[in-house]
Amino acid sequence: MPAMHVRLGAFSAALVLAATLSTAASAQKKYDTGASDTEIKIGNIMPYSGPASAYGVIGKTEEAYFRKINAEGGINGRKINFVSYDDAYSPPKTVEQARKLVESDEVLLIFNSLGTPPNSAIQKYMNQKKVPQLFVATGATKWNDPKDFPWTMGWQPNYQSESQIYAKYILKNHPDAKIGVLYQNDDYGKDYLKGFKDGLGSKASMIIIEDSYEVSEPTIDSHIVRLKSSGADVFFNITTPKFAAQAIKKNAEIGWKPLHFLNNVSASIGSVIKPAGFENAQDIISSQYFKDPTDPQWKDDPAMKAWNEFLDKYYPEANRADASVMYGFIVSQGLVQVLKACGDDLTRANVMKQAASIKDFEPAGLLPGVKVNTSPTDFAPISQLQLIRFKGEAWERFGDVLSSDVGG
Amino acid sequence: MSAAEEVVAEGHEAVEAVPKRAMTLGTGTSLLVLAALLIVPMFVKNFIIFQMTMLLIYGLAVLALNILTGGSGQFSLGQSAFYAVGAYTSAVLMEHANINYALTIPISAAICFAFGYLFGKPALRLSGVYLALATFALATAMPQLLKLNFLEHWTGGVQGLVVTKPDAPFGLPMSQDMWLYYFTLVVTVAIYIFSVNLLRSRSGRAFMAIRDNEIAASSMGVNVSLYKTLAFGVSAGITGVAGSLGAIAVQFVAPDSYTITLAISLFLGMVVGGVGWLPGSFVGAAFIIFVPNMAESISKGLSGAVFGVLLFLVIYLVPHGARQVAILGQQLIGKLRKN
């Protein structure tokens, strides 16, 4: 077979094609279910309906991005067939959809399925079936566990590494701080809190008050008042966008001015800072790993231009202030990179092998200096963040790009 | 007559539209359906078998609600809470106490029966929409109760618990899915026969007497409070069994799996299947499993709207659900025979 390929290449008029094929042609073509000479079938599960439906935009962006890839000739000549289903963020439905994708649609892998509970529900199944559960869209720490779950890989910086970065910063710059923590009472909030305490280590007693709220609460005003009255002078705000905006506003209303750390989940200018009021958000510290599309400093950035061109052509109705659109754009590039590296060996084992050997990959949209790196023992592709401080109407980066790898 | 009573009375008229004997399918049809349920899994993919298992499980949960609402005339929007208790009972017993999955099912049934019976006690004072609201509160509270810190050691908190799927016993040459399907089928058939007999028994007649007219029933010597709480207990017990089976089939329990959405889906399944018609429970279950998938394949962005339109059409065209379709079919066959 290899010899035939070389001959075919040599005799065909497309000599350029032969040059690109020469490396791939030396290896035999190998396929698992879901891949063929013309197509790669990718599965995806998103909450298009239900309580987390705001994140459905990620799935739509990915679909648009793969349309762009297909229009530009596909990956090594193969088109991506992107099959995306709705699970309404309900774990039993996720199991049903994952089984449908694997057993009925016969996809090569499931890519960027969203949410911690849905992904937890299918993790065991995917690993039993030995089907890659690649670049899951959740910041939980447990996805970086190649020893027990070699078929599951995370993507974004996980919550624990992020809060460890804040803890290190506090220990270094404010060793006498009295810290108040407000967190959402679920896996996400508790993951952050754990990382923060681990980061403080023996100094965890610096936390003088921990308060939690339920997602179903209409407002968190009373929690903010309680935190203020505790006398804390550092505030670690582990909240989702709606509550983060409320907290920033309430702080200003009652005149509480602690050193305010805001988790990256809510660092969006468009959906948090602007509604809360720029004047109330001055000097808040957070962290980022990709460019906020609403941040004016990136207006003329080449990556942002590429992003805008892509949206103009393939997803014109997208809301450009939505960070999820940027997220989908970046993670899709990650998958394309892995599939390109697979060459003609499109087996599930090789997909995981290539996904676990990404070196210094910089997809368009990440902050300067943030790189994607994996290894057979490191299944946390992005683990770098940069501290940012809100000044005027934009985030200002400060300090170096920091990294912290935490395993699950 | 208060507004609440009117709602209940309206419900009764709907139930009264058919004679009580028509609560089940004929023997011939039942056997035919059973044969189909036995044979089909041999020829389809594991994924379809899994969907059929889920169909039976949700069917059981809808059946439980049907006994409560169709049988004793009490509303419940809190079935998801009983389902969650059943699921967690099985999951915790299997994963922490290493108890065989089959043994966890009667335990769940007993715990949920007790839970439902106790909940039924204070709920006695409520009826109609007020009862629906009280059960609604139970459904909204349950996911948060499961997240409580002092339970986290057993429930796994928000992270949930992963459940190990059982292999087929005695070295039977069957996939896990197929074994679990037949296991579920046996449990389902047993509970179905139990329910049919329950509603035909003295207790069942007492349920229906209460449903039709509480005062008349009590003046005839029916112990209203006992039978009302009993109906709650039985319904909760069966829902618990469904929850247990669901946890084993899905291999995962988490608070997010048992939100109010599940309770509403079950309620919807009951209405679509036909209130008070037991076989309709499984038709209703099919509706809540497959119609959202259909809606999604029609339009991803508007799947909720498409689902709404489909639901509206069903309620508008066949307000008594699958039962009405079945009766129409029967009449049609009768006419054809005469000709």
Q: What is the pLDDT of residue A229?
A: 93
pLDDT over 90 at B176, yes or no = no
* Range in A5-9, A149-153, B68-72 the model is least confident about: A5-9
Categorize the per-residue pLDDT at B18 as very low, low, confident or very high, splitting at 50, 70 and 90: very low
pLDDT over 70 at A21, yes or no = no
Alpha-carbon span B325 to A101, nearest angstrom? 33
> Per the CB < 8 Å rule, is A120 touching B246?
no
* Range in A226-230, B175-179, B246-250 the model is least confident about: B175-179
Distance from CA of A400 to the nearest CA of B (A): 34
Q: What is the pLDDT of residue A66?
A: 96
> Per the CB < 8 Å rule, is B300 touching A99?
no
Task: Tell whether B298 lies on the interface with A, counting CB pairs under 8 A.
Answer: no
Of the CA atoms within 13 Å of residue B36, those in its CB half-sphere come to 7
The model's pLDDT over B83-120, given as tens digits with 9 standing for 90+, comes to: 999 999 999 999 888 888 999 999 999 999 999 999 88
Categorize the per-residue pLDDT at B13 as very low, low, confident or very high, splitting at 50, 70 and 90: very low
Query: Do residues B265 and B288 touch, judged by C-beta distance below 8 A?
Result: yes
Length in residues, chain B? 339
> Per the CB < 8 Å rule, is B296 touching A104?
no
Q: What is the pLDDT of residue B151?
A: 78
Q: What is the DSSP letter of A266?
A: G
Alpha-carbon span A18 to B79, nearest angstrom? 64
Task: Tell whether B144 lies on the interface with A, counting CB pairs under 8 A.
Answer: yes
Distance from CA of A91 to the nearest CA of B (A): 6
Task: Tell whether B149 lies on the interface with A, counting CB pairs under 8 A.
Answer: no
> Per the CB < 8 Å rule, is A121 touching B47?
no
Categorize the per-residue pLDDT at B304 as very low, low, confident or very high, splitting at 50, 70 and 90: confident
Beta bridge partners of residue A40, listed in sequence order: A35, A80
Distance from CA of A112 to the nearest CA of B (A): 18
Using a CB-CB cut-off of 8 Å, the residues of chain B touching A190 are: 157-158
Q: What is the pLDDT of residue B19?
A: 45
Alpha-carbon span B311 to B290, nearest angstrom? 12
Chain mean pLDDT for chain B: 85
Mutate to test the interface with A, among B256, B260, B264, B298 (most CBs of A within 10 A): B256
| Position B259, amino acid | T
Torsion sign, CA atoms A279, A280, A281, A284: positive
Distance from CA of A202 to the nearest CA of B (A): 23
Task: Tell whether B46 lies on the interface with A, counting CB pairs under 8 A.
Answer: yes
The model's pLDDT over A186-231, given as tens digits with 9 standing for 90+, comes to: 778 888 999 999 999 888 899 999 999 887 788 899 999 999 999 9
pLDDT over 90 at B170, yes or no = no
Give the pair of three-digit tokens for residue A354.
């290539």
> Per the CB < 8 Å rule, is B296 touching A88?
no
Q: What is the pLDDT of residue A15?
A: 43
The model's pLDDT over A125-164, given as tens digits with 9 standing for 90+, comes to: 999 999 999 999 988 888 999 999 999 999 999 898 899 9
Using a CB-CB cut-off of 8 Å, the residues of chain B touching A88 are: 261, 292
Q: What is the pLDDT of residue B8?
A: 41
Q: What is the pLDDT of residue B23?
A: 63
Distance from CA of B28 to the nearest CA of A (A): 33
Categorize the per-residue pLDDT at A406 as very low, low, confident or very high, splitting at 50, 70 and 90: low
Alpha-carbon span B189 to B241, nearest angstrom? 13
Under 8 Å CB pairs connecting chains A and B tally to 87
Question: Which has the closest alpha carbon to B101: B236, B244, B237?
Answer: B244
Distance from CA of A56 to the nearest CA of B (A): 9
Percent of residues, chain A, with pLDDT higher than 70: 92
> Per the CB < 8 Å rule, is A120 touching B159?
yes
Q: What is the pLDDT of residue B22?
A: 54
pLDDT over 90 at B65, yes or no = yes
Please report, in angstroms and rounded to a whole number, the separation of the first and last CA atoms in chain A.
Answer: 43
β strands within chain B, DSSP E = 161-162, 252-253
Stretch (H or E) spanning A167: helix A159-173
Q: What's the average model confidence in pLDDT over A169-192?
A: 90
Q: What is the pLDDT of residue A361?
A: 94
Task: Tell whether B136 lies on the interface with A, counting CB pairs under 8 A.
Answer: no
Give the pair of three-digit tokens for residue A143.
């996805």
Using a CB-CB cut-off of 8 Å, the residues of chain A touching B162 are: 120, 123-124
The model's pLDDT over A266-320, given as tens digits with 9 standing for 90+, comes to: 888 877 898 899 999 999 999 999 998 888 888 889 999 999 999 999 999 998 8
Distance from CA of B187 to the nearest CA of A (A): 21
pLDDT over 70 at A24, yes or no = no
ipTM: 0.76
pLDDT over 80 at A178, yes or no = yes
Q: Which residue in B162, B261, B296 is closest to A124 by CB distance?
A: B162
Distance from CA of B188 to the nearest CA of A (A): 20
Chain mean pLDDT for chain A: 88
Using a CB-CB cut-off of 8 Å, the residues of chain A touching B259 are: 90
Tell which wins on pLDDT, B1 or A307. A307
The model's pLDDT over A79-130, given as tens digits with 9 standing for 90+, comes to: 999 999 998 888 888 998 999 999 889 999 999 999 888 999 899 999 999 9
Using a CB-CB cut-off of 8 Å, the residues of chain B touching A57 are: none
> Per the CB < 8 Å rule, is B251 touching A125?
yes
Beta bridge partners of residue A100, listed in sequence order: none
pLDDT over 70 at A182, yes or no = yes
Q: Which residue in B46, B257, B300 is closest to A103 by CB distance?
A: B46
> Per the CB < 8 Å rule, is A117 touching B296?
no
Using a CB-CB cut-off of 8 Å, the residues of chain A touching B41 are: none
> Per the CB < 8 Å rule, is B259 touching A124?
no
Tell which wins on pLDDT, B171 or B274. B274
Using a CB-CB cut-off of 8 Å, the residues of chain A touching B251 are: 95, 121, 124-125
Contacts of A374 (CB under 8 A, 6+ apart): A153, A355, A356, A357, A358, A380, A381
pLDDT over 60 at B125, yes or no = yes
Q: What is the pLDDT of residue A141?
A: 84
Mutate to test the interface with B, among A99, A102, A215, A315 (most CBs of B within 10 A): A99
Alpha-carbon span A277 to A264, nearest angstrom? 18
Query: Do residues A265 and A139 touch, judged by C-beta distance below 8 A?
Result: yes
C-alpha B7: how far from chain center: 22
| Position B2, amino acid | S
Using a CB-CB cut-off of 8 Å, the residues of chain B touching A85 are: 296
